[in-house]
Amino acid sequence: MAISDKDFEQLRDFIYNLCGMYFHATKKYFLESRLTRRMEATATKSVQDYYLLLRSPRGTEEIKYLMDEVTTNETYFFRNVPQLAALETKLLPEIVEAKNKMGFRKLRIWSAASSSGEEAYTMAMILLEKRTTLLKDWIIEIVGTDINETVIAQAKEGIYNAYSVRNIPDVYRRKYIREDNGKFILSPEVKKFVTFNKLNLYEDSKMIFMKSFDFIFCANVLIYFDTASKSKVVQHFYNNLQPYGYFFVGQSESLHGVNDKFKTVHFPGGFGYKK
Amino acid sequence: MDKNLMLERAEILVGAVDDLPTIPVVATQVIQMLDDPDVSVEEIADLMLTDQVMTARVMKLINSPVYKPAHEITSLRRALVYLGLRHIRELALTTSVIGAFDADSGAIGLNLFWEHSFGVGMVSKIIARKVGYEDLEKAYIAGIIHDLGEVFLSNYLREPFQEVLDKIKSHPIKLVDAEADMLGTTHCEIGLCIARKWNFPEVYCEVISCHHNPGRATIDPILSAIVNLADLFCTVRELNYGGSQWISFNLNEEEAWSILKKASPALAQLDEERFCYELDDAVPDVKELVASIFNSTERVNP
């Protein structure tokens, strides 16, 4: 089903204002196909009807289903390339230099919606490559948390399908991934850097114990939260960071208007939030 | 590095080139004619039509998303009436700069150069509108010509400039800083020398010279600040000379941002994340515009 440009823009603005996720014009076809499914499920006959449904009291529930469709809950290794490049090129060396001066050689990274572990293990691979250079004699701690115990078990297991590993650059793939009968098995060397725990981001009493991180990642989760919860959770992330630490969201997400303490730092192809 | 020393060095480098392109005679004549308060659109159109390439480029620009006429304009006279005499000077300037550097043999591909330039022009116009700047077309033109010096470096100092590009690839060093360090001057001073040679109006000379230090501008600091920000945003959003430069910025630490917020306090509310995403959406339009300008061969009705 094709959506007119006007309908697309109306939906895009509505979703952006509500969830903080921006649909690029190039994703129009994708939104069309996912919208068709939701229109069938809700028996709405036109895009306008569906838009009105989203704006009605039932919309709070429906927007979650729509977000489920459009984020597809998929994740894979080396997903956000501009973010990783910024980290390697500038942000990591900066933090390492600052901490070296203080004689505090420990790096802590948190993948706050770690799902089956791809994001956390991607960081582990990148940092492992620097064990003999930038991060020589450094202690590295990577923590992955998720609300869902099934995905945590998968993350701990460290066995992936071809889709998950398709973006891993060769240099890492050769070293850290072993193929066995169509399954891709992560090397124990990478696994030992990461711990996974169950955590509900809404649970204040647990959030306050997640301390002293240099980098926090939280992709495609805050879009499900209403503004008040989003502000609260983001404030926790802010508190959980070391001074000058960075917080990252997903590729088309925005925290505009959610927290005025973070400073937006732009880099090629993306941006991060600096404490 | 001392700005005067860099300017001296730029003058030497530009002066040493014998075959520096000139802007078309017709453009110079048009710009001069416009100084006459009694000149008519007819006279200007007659003169412009003697240069078909220039005319074709004017028509491409006038029908581009930047000027957005309600219907396609197919005659030059109507285009000039639509624009108004005030803006013809600027259009003549832009099209002649495009014409002057059309050999694609430099260290930076010509298409990448113009994609960045037109991108900065477009974003300058958007920012100008947001800050309530009175002349949107001036902001657009200033954006298009701000990196004039870069084409010179790319074409006439090809090898040393290539070394600069190699050095900054994947390193967080700004191009302008690496130029100062390795060449003893930058594209800002080089661009200024060329713009003066071509008798550009002072306000454009200033943008070319000050778009990396808008605080130094004295004629129109707001214009230099607009182009500076547009340049930063384009450099992080795919209109970046094919990714040759790795930069990062935080608006609150940018001089341009302070200048513009002072002029228009409401700007502090800018949704910069969405601004970036919208810019991503506009990138294909910019690329298409550049492709159409450089492949414009069709003739135009008088």
User: In the listed set A71, A91, A110, which residue is the last one of a domain according to the structure?
Assistant: A71
Mark whether A146 and A244 lie in a shared domain: yes
User: In the listed set A71, A104, A120, which residue is the last one of a domain according to the structure?
Assistant: A71
Quick check: A256 and B246 CB within 8 A?
no
Mark whether A63 and A137 lie in a shared domain: no
CA atoms of A170 and A177, how far apart (whole Å): 10
What is the rounded average pLDDT of the residues A23-27?
92
DSSP assignment of B40-95 equals -HHHHHHHHTT-HHHHHHHHHHHTSTTT--SS---BHHHHHHHH-HHHHHHHHHHH
Could you tell me the strand order of the sheet in which A106-111 lies? A194-198, A139-146, A106-111, A213-217, A241-248, A270-274, A263-267
What is the rounded average pLDDT of the residues A34-57?
94
The number of distinct structural domains making up chain A is 2
Give me the helix-helix angle, B110-130 and B272-294, nearest 10°. 130
Task: Assess B243–A contact: CB distance below 8 Å, yes or no.
Answer: yes
Q: What is the average pLDDT score of chain B?
A: 88
CB nearest B274 (choices: A256, A265, A268): A256
Mark whether A245 and A156 lie in a shared domain: yes
Residues of A in contact with B251 (CB under 8 A): 264
Quick check: A269 and B172 CB within 8 A?
no
Where do the DSSP E strands lie in A6-126? 106-111
**pLDDT of A30 strictly over 60:** yes
A200 Cβ contact partners less than 8 Å away, ≥ 6 residues apart: A147, A206
Structure tokens at B199: 């008798």
Mark whether A225 and A103 lie in a shared domain: yes
Establish if A183 belongs to a structural domain: yes
Helices (H), B108-218: 110-130, 136-145, 148-156, 158-168, 175-183, 187-197, 202-210
User: In the listed set A71, A102, A119, which residue is the last one of a domain according to the structure?
Assistant: A71
Q: Which residue of A has its CA nearest to B172?
A: A90
Give, for A124, the enclosing helix (H) or strand (E).
helix A118-128
Chain B nearest-CA distance from A104, in A, is 24
Quick check: B281 and A25 CB within 8 A?
yes
Q: Which residue of A has its CA nearest to B236?
A: A268
ipTM of the complex: 0.92
Chain B nearest-CA distance from A5, in A, is 13
Mark whether A249 and A167 lie in a shared domain: yes
> In the A/B pair of chains, how many CB contacts fall below 8 A?
65
Task: Assess A14–B contact: CB distance below 8 Å, yes or no.
Answer: no
A155: domain range? 81-274
**pLDDT of B261 strictly over 50:** yes
CA atoms of B59 and B53, how far apart (whole Å): 10
**pLDDT of B300 strictly over 60:** no
Residues of B in contact with A263 (CB under 8 A): 250, 252
Mark whether A180 and A216 lie in a shared domain: yes
Name the β-bridge partners of A274.
A246, A263
| Domains of chain B by start residue, with CATH | 104-270 (1.10.3210.10)
Residues of B in contact with A267 (CB under 8 A): 236, 246-248
Give, for B237, the enclosing helix (H) or strand (E).
none
pLDDT of residue A108: 97
What digits encode the pLDDT tens for the residues A178-231?
999 999 999 999 999 999 999 999 999 999 999 999 999 999 999 999 999 999
CB nearest B249 (choices: A22, A256, A266): A266
Residues of A in contact with B173 (CB under 8 A): none
What is the rounded average pLDDT of the residues A224-248?
95
| Confidence class for position B298, pLDDT limits 50, 70, 90 | very low
Mark whether A133 and A33 lie in a shared domain: no
**Which residue did the predictor score with more confidence, B54 or A168?**
A168
Residues of A in contact with B250 (CB under 8 A): 263-266, 274
Q: What is the average pLDDT score of chain A?
A: 94
Mark whether A171 and A262 lie in a shared domain: yes
Mark whether A118 and A62 lie in a shared domain: no
Chain A, 48-107: which have a CB under 8 Å from a chain B CB? 86, 89-90
Percent of chain A with pLDDT over 70: 99
| Confidence class for position B295, pLDDT limits 50, 70, 90 | low
pLDDT of residue B208: 97
What is the rounded average pLDDT of the residues B213-240?
96
**pLDDT of B301 strictly over 70:** no
Let me know: does B276 contact B123? Beta carbons within 8 Å: no
| Confidence class for position B66, pLDDT limits 50, 70, 90 | low
Question: Which CATH number characterizes residue A98's domain?
Answer: 3.40.50.150
Establish if A76 belongs to a structural domain: no
